[in-house]
Chains A and B, each alone.
Chain A
Amino acid sequence: MGVEIAVSGLTKRFGSQLIWDDVTLTLPAGEISVLLGPSGTGKSVFLKTLVGLIRPERGSIVIEGQDLVQLRGDDLYEVRKLFGVLFQDGALFGSMSLFDNVAFPLREHTRKGEKEIGDIVREKMELVGLAGAEGKLPGEISGGMRKRAGLARALVLDPQILLIDEPDSGLDPVRTSYINQLFVDLNAQIDATFLIVTHDINTARTVPDNIGLLYHRHLAMFGPREMLLSSEEPVVRQFLNAQTIGPIGMSEEKDADELAAESGQELPPLPPIPLQLPTSDGTPRRAEREAGEWCRSNGVTPPPGSFASTTAGIVGVDQGADA
């Protein structure tokens, strides 16, 4: 289960405006990857490009030996059945109840009877914690519930790839933790390839196997979580630690004067790398690696206090005396 997505040389512009240039990365099969970036760097555009909703100017997206950029019409619809996509606001069909929303892909693409469809829908609704809300309309429920219903719909055809657009936008921190836990558990259960687009660094620090950072119209870095969290690269360091010192400014990148003014300032030390979020019942995921493995095999010394807990280095969590 799980499918690898190989993106190479992807370039997208809207008119004369360059969104990102020459993005090359491989989402490893069955692993959770997070795509980060400041607001307005085209993270959502990248996600829509991956499913063929937006056509890039150059580059290729290879899935199971087919280049998605070249596919048209029915072939494209066929490849899309591999995907489950959770849009920012859930993108539920406003005229249908939650049950019909979740049942929709099954009714369209399978020959299952209503009874079987009902069983699958209820199972998925229970998985995302919405049991009992089947009869509600999307307009009658909260944003968090819409998101979870959208997730249930994305899961119903057993996707090989799950793309998730800003799962934490508009959710409180507790619900964000729950939904992150749900992603980790789901990954253990269905082994699909996950790509989560977010700008929440707490999610990025604890959930994924890989992190990518889009910045200044290109992919600044993509690699294993420990590689980015221990990176001294200014952009990566600034973003993953939510600091004002660094090349990212309020509107876009800082100008030369601002950078010169900062040049004497000492950067705060890298915070410790937290443990990766385990599954709720402790069963290991297939893609899971031992904490600190990447650092050891690449001769990188992780910041002191790393891998002590899943909250190490997380902003806003009390670190105790020794951290």
Chain B
Amino acid sequence: MTVVTNGLKQAGSFFGLVVDVAKAVPKRPFQLKEFIQQAWFVASVTIVPTALVSIPFGAVIALQLGTLTRQLGAQSFTGAASVLAVVREASPLVTALLVAGAGGSAICADLGSRKIREEIDAMEVLGISPIQRLVVPRVLATMLVAALLNGLVSVVGVAGGYVFNVMVQGGTPGAYLASFTALAQIADLVTSEIKALLFGAIAALVASYKGLTAGGGPKGVGDAVNQAVVITFMFLFVVNFVISAVYFQVVPQKI
């Protein structure tokens, strides 16, 4: 019973934080300096690993699709399917996993150690809302970086797929490129960016929540980081499924 009520309490106070953050976003003064610093920080810890992950990811998708399309006798659609898979699903997820794993864990550890050093309490007592001062800039910065990284992953993933398909699998460059727009449409890119924004927000919100509620000394911070990453990952896959399902209902598909 306490497990259930505890879970509900956690969920409740998490959504409480989400509402507080939403209310604090339009409040002035906006912490521009903190926002830029955080955006730079999250970008600096995620760019290289994201790029490195997206190359084999694009290649694996190309490998799978290349084989599948040949079996179905639809080699000319390899490029089209590759673009769809990378832009619609793979890219926002890869982005989110790295933003959550590298950026989110750092945010959680930072806020958590401030919490146990009573810095957060001190800030509250000095009459400054830590939500407005610390959480809002982090959430917005992570969203921005996630959206930008998503673009990077899409490009690197598609390029990786191209290289793999053309050079390794012997596909024709013309077919790969020409079929890009056969299935994909601009709505795919828009949805992809919306996904990335949402995933970035979720990663930063969960990390902030876990950081701000950390307790029990340095071990508590370690636990909080661990939980933040796991919870974020679970959230991401559920939200990803919901958005994809809604997308197919709302946006008419080509052909």
Is B one of A's binding partners? Answer: yes
What residues of chain A have their CB less than 8 Å away from a CB belonging to chain B?
48, 51, 53, 77-78, 80-81, 83, 85, 87-89, 91-94, 104-105, 108-109, 150, 153, 157
Residues of B within 8 Å of A94, CB to CB, are 113-114, 117, 119
Within 8 A of A (CB), among B107-130: 113-114, 117-119, 121-129
Q: Report the minimum CB–CB distance from A323 to chain B (whole Å).
A: 41
Would you give 21 A-B contacts (Cβ < 8 Å), ordered by A? A53-B124, A53-B125, A77-B127, A77-B129, A78-B127, A85-B122, A87-B121, A88-B118, A89-B117, A89-B118, A91-B117, A91-B118, A91-B121, A92-B119, A93-B119, A94-B117, A104-B126, A105-B127, A109-B126, A150-B122, A153-B122
Residues of A within 8 Å of B123, CB to CB, are 93
Query: Is there contact, CB below 8 Å, between A80 and B117?
Result: no
Within 8 A of A (CB), among B80-122: 113-114, 117-119, 121-122
Residue of A nearest to B29 (CB): A108
Q: Which of B119, B121, B128 contacts A77 (CB 8 A)?
A: B128
Query: Is there contact, CB below 8 Å, between B122 and A87?
Result: yes
Residue of B nearest to A82 (CB): B127
Complex Cα distance, B119 from A150, in Å, reads 11
Q: Report the minimum CB–CB distance from A157 to chain B (whole Å).
A: 8
Q: Report the minimum CB–CB distance from B36 to chain A (whole Å).
A: 15
Query: Is there contact, CB below 8 Å, between A48 and B121?
Result: yes
Q: Which of B113, B119, B127, B128 contacts A91 (CB 8 A)?
A: B119
Complex Cα distance, B127 from A105, in Å, reads 8
Residue of A nearest to B6 (CB): A15
Residue of B nearest to A156 (CB): B126
Complex Cα distance, B123 from A91, in Å, reads 9
Complex Cα distance, B119 from A108, in Å, reads 16
Query: Is there contact, CB below 8 Å, between B128 and A108?
Result: yes
Residues of A within 8 Å of B121, CB to CB, are 48, 53, 87, 91
Q: Report the minimum CB–CB distance from A145 to chain B (whole Å).
A: 16
Complex Cα distance, B128 from A80, in Å, reads 9
Q: Report the minimum CB–CB distance from A47 to chain B (whole Å).
A: 10
Complex Cα distance, B149 from A116, in Å, reads 44
Residues of B within 8 Å of A77, CB to CB, are 124, 127-129
Residues of B within 8 Å of A104, CB to CB, are 126
Residue of B nearest to A44 (CB): B118
Q: Report the minimum CB–CB distance from A158 to chain B (whole Å).
A: 13
Q: Report the minimum CB–CB distance from B114 to chain A (whole Å).
A: 7
Residues of B within 8 Å of A89, CB to CB, are 117-118
Residues of B within 8 Å of A109, CB to CB, are 126-127
Q: Report the minimum CB–CB distance from A51 to chain B (whole Å).
A: 5
Query: Is there contact, CB below 8 Å, between A81 and B127?
Result: yes
Q: Report the minimum CB–CB distance from A100 to chain B (whole Å).
A: 13
Complex Cα distance, B124 from A48, in Å, reads 11
Q: Report the minimum CB–CB distance from B251 to chain A (whole Å).
A: 40
Top 7 A-B pairs, shortest CB-CB distance? A91-B122, A91-B118, A85-B125, A77-B127, A87-B118, A80-B127, A81-B127
Q: Mark B116-160, 1 if CB is under 8 A from A, else 0.
A: 011101111111110000000000000000000000000000000
Q: Report the minimum CB–CB distance from A192 to chain B (whole Å).
A: 15
Complex Cα distance, B120 from A92, in Å, reads 10
Residues of B within 8 Å of A92, CB to CB, are 119, 122
Seed contacts A93-B119, A109-B126; 16 additional CB < 8 Å A-B pairs: A48-B121, A51-B125, A53-B121, A53-B124, A78-B127, A85-B122, A87-B118, A87-B122, A91-B121, A92-B119, A93-B114, A94-B113, A94-B114, A108-B126, A108-B128, A157-B126
Residue of A nearest to B120 (CB): A91
Complex Cα distance, B113 from A93, in Å, reads 11
Residues of A within 8 Å of B125, CB to CB, are 51, 53, 80, 83, 85
Q: Which of A78, A80, A88 contacts B126 (CB 8 A)?
A: A80
Complex Cα distance, B122 from A116, in Å, reads 23
Residues of B within 8 Å of A91, CB to CB, are 117-119, 121-122
Residue of B nearest to A109 (CB): B127
Residues of B within 8 Å of A88, CB to CB, are 118
Complex Cα distance, B118 from A92, in Å, reads 8
Q: Which of B114, B118, B119, B126 contacts A105 (CB 8 A)?
A: B126
Residue of B nearest to A93 (CB): B119
Residue of B nearest to A150 (CB): B122
Q: Mark B172-197, 1 if CB is under 8 A from A, else 0.
A: 00000000000000000000000000
Complex Cα distance, B89 from A179, in Å, reads 61
Q: Report the minimum CB–CB distance from B38 to chain A (whole Å).
A: 12
Residue of B nearest to A108 (CB): B128
